[in-house]
Amino acid sequence: MGLSIGMLRQALSHLRLARVGIVGLGWAVLVLSGPAFAAGPVETCRQTIAEGLRILNDPHDRSPERKPLQQERLWAVLAEGFDFTEFSKRVLAEKWDAFLPAQRIEFVDVFSKFLGNYYLAQLRKHYTNETVTCRGQEMIGPARAVVKADVVWMNRPFPVEVRMLKHAGRWRAYDVSVIGFSAIAIYRAQFREIMRTHSPAQVIALVRSRMDE
């Protein structure tokens, strides 16, 4: 199990390239993936930035004892707007077929909580009034789009791309790239290595063991 834990740490370290990477990814999966039924992809970005800022800057949540509540509010926004099932399927790629239906549901549940716990905690920890500017969108098809944005840190813009899918009239994010690094690509490489020696049940147990760290 030590090798697998190391691989997960390595995946995190790739996305931990710089402070802007943490803040950028946290911002991207949060404020660029809010709920949108009538709005298009880029409108989703612009509408939900205000909600993310409101939660992060709420003076009632600045005390240590209220931090868990702030985390819950951020998670509610993320869980509503980010398609963790699509993300998980693309991360596992061909390995998805090795999971039984019940195991797929369990994997998505523990993996989404693992990601949410880590990135939202890091966003709350490192956020210092960075801003996000949506530059536009590229429509790849009637139900596929890429929203392009910049996280402005220390007066420097860092590029962020969010890939989105439309289901039942609603746009949801399923992948995030920060300064050129795709979350799906990074985690896919790590899980491909892990699954060479671990069964689906062992992979689920491994991710579950990392959730609260």
Domain total of the chain? 1
Per residue in 177-202, pLDDT (tens digit) is 887 888 899 899 999 999 999 999 99
Q: Find which of 29-33, 82-86, 172-176 is predicted with most confidence, using mean pLDDT.
A: 82-86
pLDDT over threshold 80, residue 10:
no
Q: What is the pLDDT of residue 98?
A: 96
Q: What CATH number is given to the structural domain containing 35?
A: 3.10.450.710
User: Which structural domain, as residue segments, surrounds residue 118?
Assistant: 2-210
Mean pLDDT value across residues 145-155 = 82
Ordered DSSP codes for 127-155:
-SS-EEEEEEEEEEETTEEEEEEEEEETT
Q: Which residue has tokens 């740490």? A: 9
The pTM (predicted TM-score) of the whole model is: 0.78
Q: Which residue has tokens 């950028």? A: 24
Average pLDDT in the chain: 78
Q: What is the pLDDT of residue 96?
A: 97
The strand order across the sheet containing 170-178 reads 131-141, 144-153, 156-167, 170-178, 181-182
Q: What is the pLDDT of residue 12?
A: 43
- 11: confidence class by pLDDT, cuts 50, 70, 90: very low
For residues 199 and 203, what is the distance between their CA atoms, to the nearest angstrom? 6
Per residue in 56-72, pLDDT (tens digit) is 777 777 777 877 888 78
